[in-house]
């Protein structure tokens, strides 16, 4: 995965993407015990260049030019299936902007902060997301004040209360 992150860092340096942050299950692994996952989710802010629609064509073209192949919604970068997810709402935009640099082996990687990961999982609300949130709460101490502030900003407090009531009644 380190080589994949190096390629993604180079994409940012080459301005193919403005910013990125690792999210999804791999993002969670930076905080808790590993979870099963198939791919590397990369949330991205893309250069707009005056275009009204967001397009990943620049990402795909850049990587295809480097010899990487696509497989459905993934691009296989150094053997790792990578899914690029454009920032699709204010929460994800904020999460990418607030991502922190974390060393991964000998490479620096931008990773979503834990509270943003949790908020995105809460907003997405898939069964696997609910399971991961519960796992996070079991394994590490979460800054609840910071999480609550984030959830208030993005209208997710009721969803958080519902999650706690249904899946994590403590």
Asked if 142 and 168 count as a contact pair (C-beta separation under 8 A), the reply is no
pLDDT reported for residue 34: 79
Same domain assignment for residues 99 and 143: no
If the chain, 170 residues long, is cut into consecutive pieces of 10 residues, what is the mean pLDDT of each piece? 96 96 94 86 86 83 96 94 96 97 96 98 95 93 96 97 86
Are 106 and 139 within one domain?
A: no
* CATH number, residue 85: 3.30.460
Tell me, yes or no, whether 101 and 53 share the same domain: yes
Same domain as 124, residue 107:
no
- Give the per-residue pLDDT at 163: 95
* Same domain for 70 and 42: yes
Looking at the fold, whether 38 and 8 belong to one and the same domain comes out as yes
Rounded CA separation 88/46 (Å): 11
- Whether residues 27 and 83 share a domain: the answer is yes
Residues in the chain: 170
**Is 123 in the same domain as 85?**
no
Residues 35 and 49 in one domain: yes
User: What is the domain range of residue 149?
Assistant: 116-167
State which of 79, 94, 112 marks the end of a domain: 112
User: How many domains does the chain divide into?
Assistant: 2
Among 70, 96, 112, the domain boundary falls at 112
CB-based burial, 9-42: b 16+ in 10 Å, e otherwise: eebeeeebbeebbbbbbbbbebbeeeeebebbbb
Q: Same structural domain for residues 16 and 90?
A: yes
Question: What pLDDT does 48 receive?
Answer: 72
| Residue 78 sits in the same domain as residue 140 | no
Q: What is the pLDDT of residue 53?
A: 74
Residue pair 75/63 in contact (Cβ under 8 Å)? The answer is yes
**Same structural domain for residues 77 and 143?**
no
């Amino acid at each position: 995965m380190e080589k994949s992150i190096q390629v993604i860092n180079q994409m940012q340096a080459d301005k193919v993407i403005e910013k990125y942050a690792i999210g999804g299950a791999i993002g969670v692994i930076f905080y808790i015990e590993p979870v099963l996952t198939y791919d590397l989710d990369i949330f991205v802010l893309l250069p707009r260049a005056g275009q009204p629609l967001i397009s990943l064509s620049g990402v795909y073209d850049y990587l295809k030019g480097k010899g990487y192949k696509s497989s459905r919604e993934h691009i296989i970068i150094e053997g790792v299936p990578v899914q690029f997810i454009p920032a699709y709402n204010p929460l994800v935009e904020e999460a990418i902007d607030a991502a922190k640099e974390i060393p991964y082996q000998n490479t620096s990687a931008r990773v979503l902060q834990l509270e943003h990961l949790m908020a995105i999982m809460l907003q997405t609300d898939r069964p696997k997301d609910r399971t991961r949130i519960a796992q996070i709460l079991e394994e590490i101490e979460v800054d609840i004040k910071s999480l609550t502030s984030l959830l208030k900003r993005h209208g997710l407090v009721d969803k958080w209360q519902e999650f706690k009531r249904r899946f994590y009644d403590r």
